[in-house]
């Protein structure tokens, strides 16, 4: 959501050749092209190479789309066009394609003339185009709607948002500090495959650099940071020395991400427990980074981190969770993680507590973690797994219910599944191959995730 998607607009029709003699329609076709560009403008930056009729026009369009690195190409036929013309463009571009079968009138009036037909008969030529795309093995999405239909335009908005997220995903860098938690099979993944088929690149960062930065952090900066955080959240339970260690580590992690241009971090949190320069768990720091739009996944879980990055692009905020305890009485399940979570998604910032971890103790004691209830509202959970040489996204929608946070030094959510009982959710989540971690964002985004998966070319299982 940080940048506007770029939409390549491809509008075409055949007006004039040895047999067709409607060249006088070109001004109207150009006007229609510009009108469509205006209709689509709310959904992204429009790259409009103008009306396309002949092969040089198609070359111009391909060059414009490639030079501008568009995220999505929307192809429209206003009237019949020989398939070789749009294919000259669509076979030379890398961006995903949405074929929009649309027209400017809702019906053909009784007094219609041929010019009106020419402006509104794209369905005449589209079978040739979609057939050519299928024969060429070129993936595409298809949408049929009237040009001003709100539901159709909403679909276009989703495609543009998903395509923009994919393009940004391809440029993202994950910093890996430490190693995946030993023995966790769902963390045993191929980073090259992740780069090739999903997008982000994984780059290691030595824990030593973070430890040295934390121990050498300017004390005035640390103190100012602690005061600022204490003004946002309740840090009264934190011993000053442990809060100091935690603040130093949080700032060192933030510096590491920004200095190395990492979009997200996958950390093995236990890596510093025995290092006397740090000697605590970094749960507070990793949660703080999430609130600063730098997603962090503990246990060096790059697949759930990638799911967090996807949801952050689609929804603006994301967090990291795992299944905790089923609540059979409420037909729900508590989702949580050991002190790590995104406090920007809390029900009430004033009720966010910074507390010593009850989960891990280092040589310097129990570092800070977060304890709070997540805000109630519609939510989407997302996981990413490698499967049979490919990748699968697993998505489910539900509701975050109001909950009184338990005194377990961890962020907590009471999740109720939208499409069945909690027992059905558990069964379906397990049978889909989900890992033991998950990403979560507010809002219902399953349909959007499905579009992203199709554009990306990976399977989506929607529960």
Q: What CATH architecture is 6-170?
A: 3-Layer(aba) Sandwich (3.40)
What sections of 119-149 are H helices per DSSP?
A: 126-135
**pLDDT of res. 119:** 86
**How far is it, in rounded angstroms, from Cα 306 to Cα 12?**
38
Query: Which of the 8 DSSP states describes residue 365?
Result: B
Q: What are phi and psi of 327, to 5 degrees?
A: -110, 90
What lies within 8 Å, CB to CB, of 272 at 6+ separation is 207, 210, 211, 249, 278, 279, 280, 281, 282, 362
What lies within 8 Å, CB to CB, of 228 at 6+ separation is none
Beta pairing partners, 175: 203, 265
Name the stretches of the chain with pLDDT < 70: 1-2
Residues of the chain with CATH 3.40.275.10: 173-462
- CB-CB contact of 416 with 427 (8 Å): no
**How far is it, in rounded angstroms, from Cα 310 to Cα 307?**
5
- CB-CB contact of 165 with 310 (8 Å): yes
Superfamily for 173-462?
L-fucose Isomerase; Chain A, domain 2 (3.40.275.10)
**pLDDT of res. 2:** 53
**How far is it, in rounded angstroms, from Cα 257 to Cα 175?**
7
245-279 residues labelled b (16+ CB within 10 A) or e (exposed) = bbbbbbbbbbebbeeeebbbbbbbbbbbbebebbb
Give the residue from 326, 315, 341 showing the smallest Cα distance to 411.
341
Residues of the chain with CATH 3.40.50.10940: 6-170
Crossing angle, helix 446-456 and helix 302-315, to 10 degrees? 120
Question: pLDDT (tens digit, 9 = 90+) per residue, 269-291?
Answer: 999 999 999 999 999 999 999 99
User: Rounded to 5 degrees, what angle do the CA atoms 106, 107, 113 make?
Assistant: 125
**pLDDT of res. 55:** 94
Query: Which of the 8 DSSP states describes residue 197?
Result: I
Other CB atoms within 10 Å distance of the CB of residue 41: 12
Query: Which of the 8 DSSP states describes residue 406?
Result: P
Predicted model pTM: 0.92
Helix (H) and strand (E) counts in the chain: 14, 18
Other CB atoms within 10 Å distance of the CB of residue 202: 18
**pLDDT of res. 138:** 95
């Amino acid at each position: 959501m940080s940048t506007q998607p770029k939409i390549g607009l491809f509008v075409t029709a055949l007006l004039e050749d040895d047999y067709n003699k409607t060249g006088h329609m070109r001004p109207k076709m150009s006007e229609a092209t510009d009108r469509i560009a205006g209709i689509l403008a709310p959904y992204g930056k429009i790259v409009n190479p103008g009306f396309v009729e002949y092969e040089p026009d198609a070359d111009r369009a391909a060059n414009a789309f490639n030079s501008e690195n568009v995220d999505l190409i929307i192809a429209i036929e206003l009237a019949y066009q020989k398939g070789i013309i749009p294919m000259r463009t669509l076979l030379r571009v890398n961006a995903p394609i949405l074929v929009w079968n649309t027209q400017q009138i809702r019906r053909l009036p009784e007094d219609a003339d041929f010019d009106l037909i020419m402006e509104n008969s794209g369905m005449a030529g589209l079978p040739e185009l979609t057939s050519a795309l299928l024969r060429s093995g070129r993936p595409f999405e298809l949408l049929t709607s009237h040009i001003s239909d709100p539901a159709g335009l909403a679909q276009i908005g989703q495609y543009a948002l998903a395509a923009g997220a994919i393009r940004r995903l391809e440029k993202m860098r994950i910093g890996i500090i430490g190693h995946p938690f030993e023995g966790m099979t769902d963390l045993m993944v191929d980073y090259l495959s992740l780069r090739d088929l999903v997008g982000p690149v994984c780059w290691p960062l030595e824990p030593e650099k973070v430890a040295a930065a934390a121990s050498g952090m300017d004390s005035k900066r640390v103190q100012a940071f602690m005061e600022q955080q204490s003004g946002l959240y309740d840090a009264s339970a934190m011993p000053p020395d442990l809060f100091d260690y935690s603040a130093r580590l949080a700032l060192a992690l933030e510096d590491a991400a920004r200095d190395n241009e990492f979009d997200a971090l996958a950390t093995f949190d236990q890596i510093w427990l025995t290092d006397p320069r740090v000697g605590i768990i970094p749960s507070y720091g990793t949660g703080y980074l999430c609130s600063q739009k730098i997603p962090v996944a503990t246990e060096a879980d790059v697949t759930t981190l990638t799911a967090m990055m996807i949801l952050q692009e689609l929804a603006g905020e994301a967090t990291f969770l795992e299944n905790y305890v089923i609540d059979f009485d409420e037909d729900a399940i508590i989702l949580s993680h050991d002190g790590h979570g995104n406090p920007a998604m809390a029900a009430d910032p004033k009720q966010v507590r910074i507390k010593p971890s009850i989960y891990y103790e280092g040589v310097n004691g129990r570092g800070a973690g977060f304890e709070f209830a997540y805000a109630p509202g519609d939510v989407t959970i997302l996981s990413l797994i490698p499967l049979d040489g490919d990748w699968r996204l697993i998505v489910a929608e539900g509701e975050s219910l109001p909950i009184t946070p338990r005194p377990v030094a961890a962020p907590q959510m009471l999740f109720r599944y939208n499409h069945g009982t909690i027992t059905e959710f558990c069964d379906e989540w397990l049978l889909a191959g989900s890992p033991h971690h998950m990403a979560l964002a507010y809002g219902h985004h399953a349909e959007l995730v499905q579009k992203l998966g199709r554009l990306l070319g990976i399977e989506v299982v929607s529960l």
